Amino acid sequence: MNPQAKRPGRGVVVVGAQWGDEGKGKIVDHLAADADVVVRFQGGANAGHTLVIDGRKTVLHLIPSGVLRGKPCAIGPGCVVDPEALVEELETLAAQGCSPGPDLLLVSRAAPMILPVHKRLDRARERAAGSEAIGTTGRGIGPAYEDVVARRGLRFLDLDQGEPHLRARIDGLLRERNPRLEALGEQPMTAAELLEPLRAVHGRLAPYLADVGRYLHRRRGEGASVLYEGAQGTLLDVLHGTYPYVTSSSTLAANACLGAGVGPSAIDEVVGIAKAYTTRVGAGPFPTELSDALGERLRDVGREFGATTGRPRRCGWLDVPGLRYAARVNGLTALGMTKLDVLSGLEEIRIAVAYRWRGETLDELPVEPLALVEAEPVYETLPGWSDDIASVRRYADLPVAARRFVERVEALVEVPVTMVSVAADREAVIERER
């Protein structure tokens, strides 16, 4: 080894440790202060990361949260990108005084595009499924990923190959998708309906297109630290989540490498984000769900409404077996706990510490569909606290009961809780001294 060679910068992956909506955007924004590059590695505009800075709320769907720190950001080839949604997000940021140019935002040329046919098919399927619908956002994510695997999807690089090439790719896609639309009672789409939007946005997005993996490799070699931002959560992973009520991509930390275009040696730390309670959007089993006034309280106090769809989130007690599962499959090295303040004012706080199913005690959340429905949580009860903690900025200043709650979760999951968020504002993240 050359002793003069520069050591590659650190790589930190941030993933959701529950069913998504854990507040990853806020933690990524916090960590981005010390990062050199932030990259989004999976999902699409079905994700929503909400940030509150100086009292102003910003919701990002595709562009990494680091953009509000003025850090270079990238959208990796593992994402499916709606070109129109990306342009809209750029215009929204520009209206707020943040207008990232090609020097601050890179979009992978290899990233698959979400087209109008994907969104129409997504919504038609959900309508046809009726009571068995899984609760997608209707933004075409699933159909777009299907076309990637079937090798018929369009990528941004197809826009640079000339219109005859683009038209041929679209014709091939519609040969497969139009019969399905008609079977669902929808009108088939024409090539023009897909071509026109692409013509409209191509010039706007062309300067941003780049080889993201190569860029990250170069920056790491220069010593830059890279923050890898995931979307959704562990329990929505297409392979390891609560199937079939899952998203269409891999949400786990290992996918940061594939979705960004780097090797496993690029990752040094994996931070899982979890609320102090649990939420879920859409259909699917939710063992610790509170379908009562307490669940309503958590929803109201926590403002638990989807950043992308506005749908009310289902709320329940913290699920430690689920966090243990997330810690194992992601290889978590740290946990960040958000929305601790939402529990303020409760006399008692419950934590699910295990599950009972058919005479067995399970220490991890079962992902088998039948077990997930039948399993009963085993709860541990802790004392609550009445203090308003939103203005607290040192861990030692939190109420004793709040600290005991955090430390009990840490002991049960066996992963250090290194950050605690106590309010929506950017500054309300407490770093724990260890």
Q: Is 49 tagged catalytic?
A: yes
d(CA 404, CA 351) in angstroms, rounded, equals 12
Cα-based distances in Å from 178 to 117, 118, 187: 8, 11, 8
- Provide the token pair at 70: 């003025």
User: Is the Cα torsion angle 310, 31, 114, 235 positive or negative in sign?
Assistant: negative
d(CA 332, CA 187) in angstroms, rounded, equals 46
d(CA 134, CA 126) in angstroms, rounded, equals 7
| Active-site position among 21, 122, 237, 341 | 21
Cα-based distances in Å from 397 to 32, 393, 422: 25, 7, 12
| Active-site position among 49, 61, 118, 240 | 49
Of 63, 73, 78, residue with least CA distance to 32: 73
What's the helix, strand, coil split of the chain in %, to 5?
40, 20, 40
First CA to last CA across the chain, in angstroms? 33
Q: Which residues contact 65 (CB under 8 A, 6 or more apart)?
A: 24, 25, 26, 28, 29, 32, 38, 49, 51, 229
Amino acid type, 268:
D
Active site residues: 21, 49
